[in-house]
Structure 1
Amino acid sequence: MEQARDGLALVLHPHSPKRTARVRGASLTDQVYERIREDIIHGHLVPGVRLVEMEIAQQMGTSQGPVREALQRLEHEGLVDRHARSATYVTQISLEDMHDIFSIRSMVEGCAIRQTAQRMTHVRYEALQSLVDRMRRAGQRNDIASLVNYDMEFHRNLCIWSENPTLLRVWTPLVSQTERFVVQMHPRYFADLVEVADAHVPVLDALCRGLIEGAETAIREHIMLVWSRIRQ
């Protein structure tokens, strides 16, 4: 979307065929959610922009119901704020808030990986290794969108394989804000995107060796790595 002079979001940003294919066959709510979410994450919708249900519904050729449901999901993920009279705005990116989010992720994934480490199989290890390889190739071609998708899938697997639904429920709403921060801020802290992929290697090594304590330490250090860059 592009921002109009009065602050309304009026034009949906065109997406690649790959992204369109991802939502084809999904519900109207899912399609609206994906479109707005991607525009926020990639900075096409900047913080403070107002999102108007009627305008979005007209642009996507749907009723306001799916738009309202999509905005509620985005609010749950912290990407938008909904105020009185249904006014909805894209949230700001605060370093303090992001530090809290990464800290929570560090604790949640630290707990998750302890359980996952006890359930690791060769197939699961190969799946994680494949994701790191894909991250590395995406980094080599400077494809931050694909890299972040593979990155989040890596971390999502660690939570899913813990077989702890509570941890997964806590972790899931934090993904969108993490993606937005990494996509928009990575040039400041990770000029070489391949380095992002390589940062996952200590986690893989600990899991491969069956080191529960080592895996927890590795995942916590990995998640908080960005803050060591900020302090520099």
Structure 2
Amino acid sequence: MAIGEYTESTDSKLISEEDSIYTKILNDIARGKLVSGDRLVTTQLAKQYNTSINPVREALKQLQGEGFVTVLANSGSRVTKFEFHTMRDVFEILALLEPYLMEWFINEHTDEQLDTLKIILKQMTDLSPSDFVRYRELDAEFHASMYSHHYNKRAYGMWCKNRLMLQAFHANLGFSVRRFEQSLVEHQDLLTGIENRNVDAVMTTLNKHIDNSGQYWSKHFQ
């Protein structure tokens, strides 16, 4: 595959392309159209998504089971309020899963998969810090395009769920220029290490990438 010809596959997306009410609501949460604490009224959502009430109820029930929606007595359904301890737990889970998923990719990746990473990183580089929503989508695609090839689909599924929670929390949190530039360097270092199949270098960069993201999130959350 030549550089510039990348077409995103469904497998490398955190949210499938399936045109269901569930995916529409989840997309709106991940992109910050529905934010933490927002009330989710079934009649309003049904009108918004041009559907009946039952599919909305089923979608909210599924999202509740996955931790994206909270149902409280006398309050109805709301987008989950992602508190500090929740996001701390998410970061710790990702810090455990990513090295496991990454190590396999370093050793097993193909040239075509490497070209995919180069294209995504080029798209990230072409953005500005103000394009933080699109940057985070591409960031997620960058990692998903590696981890989705892992044989352990349960581990990959767990990563997707927690990454989506992270993305939902970060949806309206902008980048400083410094963090934006730092993140790009970290991704380039990951790509270089993967291309050289240098496990130690990639793991060092990945741990730094996770730590820096966690520190930036924690500072702004508090």
Q: TM-score, normalised by structure 2?
A: 0.78
How far 1:105 sits from its partner (Å)? Answer: 0.9
8 Å contact from structure 1 (residues 33, 70) kept in 2: yes
Aligned position for 1:80: 69
Q: Which of 208, 214, 222 is matched with 2:201 structurally?
A: 214
Q: Secondary structure at the match of 2:70?
A: strand
CA separation of 1:166 and 1:33: change in aligned 2, threshold 3 A: closer
CA separation of 1:227 and 1:26: change in aligned 2, threshold 3 A: closer
Aligned position for 2:80: 91
RCO higher in structure (CA 8 A, sep ≥6):
2
Partner Cα distance (1:88, 1:191) in 2: 38
Aligned position for 1:55: 44
Unaligned runs of 5+ in 2: 1-14
Q: TM-score, normalised by structure 1?
A: 0.75
8 Å contact from structure 1 (residues 42, 180) kept in 2: yes
Equivalent AA in structure 1 for residue 47 of structure 2:
Q
Q: Secondary structure at the match of 2:78?
A: strand
Aligned position for 2:183: 196
Aligned position for 1:163: 151
User: How many pairs are equivalent?
Assistant: 204
Q: Secondary structure at the match of 1:78?
A: coil
1:120 counterpart = 2:109 = yes
Identity of aligned residues (%): 25
Partner Cα distance (2:158, 2:188) in 1: 25
Q: Secondary structure at the match of 1:162?
A: coil
Aligned position for 1:148: 136
Aligned position for 1:18: none
Partner Cα distance (2:157, 2:197) in 1: 26
Q: Secondary structure at the match of 1:93?
A: coil
Calculate the aligned-residue CA RMSD, in Å.
2.8
